[in-house]
Amino acid sequence: MSLVNYSVKERVGYITLNRPDKRNALSHELVHDLKEAFSRAETDASIKVVVLNANGESFCAGADLAYIQQLQNFTFEENLADSKHLKELFLQIYTLKKVVIAQVQGHALAGGCGLATVCDFTFSVPEAKFGYTEVKIGFIPALVAVFLVRKIGEQKARQLLLTGEIIKAQDALSRGLISKVVDAKDLEASVFDFAQELVRNNSAQSMQLTKQLIADVQSLSLHDALDLATSVNAQARATEDCKRGIAAFLNKQELRW
């Protein structure tokens, strides 16, 4: 059985966690397969938007318990290599050239909450719970902290990361952690409809450049960020999508991307 499934529907690529018996817990192999799937999605010309979803009752329960036991016997070098393995996945999703939507049908905890955090949008059922529970077992949410502070700000991130608090979807929405709460019966359709809006109405090149700019400007000073934005602005004007979009606008033509 594949740990990760890959499918395409009307220009939307689906990357599906497929360890339902283990609550889709993250193992070294699962992280590897996710990295391969996202690499495939990034270069797949048939898709424009990516959805990360999961089979079973849980979205992702974090690290696999058997794997956590193995970590106790790792050397520092082995733990460093393993940490880099997960870092590469989080960074890959965060900087992917295509928009990534997390479709959360069940609990997303620890590393699983990290997966949802690094996606561009997260749709969740009301029953799902979110939390970075690492501090409760003597571990730290090190990698996700970098992304979470960017996403919701330092104070809100401190509250979640230092307490290990588990919160419901509506609370996660109010804190800016997720994008939308949808009834379970409507989740799949809502995510697909939203993905289709992006597919039909937005330029792929524009979304890619915008994602990259958002990721890059946050570590820069105001002046450096504006200099970068100015450069990206000029770069965007030279793209084929921009030329096509402006021509359609001026000619009052309907444009479907």
* 8 Å CB contact between 22 and 59: no
* 8 Å CB contact between 111 and 89: no
Residue 119 burial by CB count (10 A; 0-12/13-18/19+): exposed, middle or buried?
buried
* 8 Å CB contact between 86 and 25: no
Residue with tokens 């109010």: 174
Which of 10, 36, 42, 134 is flagged as catalytic?
A: 134
Q: Is 134 a catalytic residue?
A: yes
Half-sphere exposure of 68 (CA within 13 A, CB side): 13
From residue 92, how far is each of 37, 66, 154, 176 by CA, in Å? 11, 25, 23, 22
Residue with tokens 């290990």: 164
> What does the CA dihedral 227, 228, 229, 233 come to, rounded to 10 degrees?
100
User: Smallest Cα–Cα separation from 1: which of 21, 27, 31, 28?
Assistant: 21
Q: Which positions are annotated as active-site residues?
A: 134
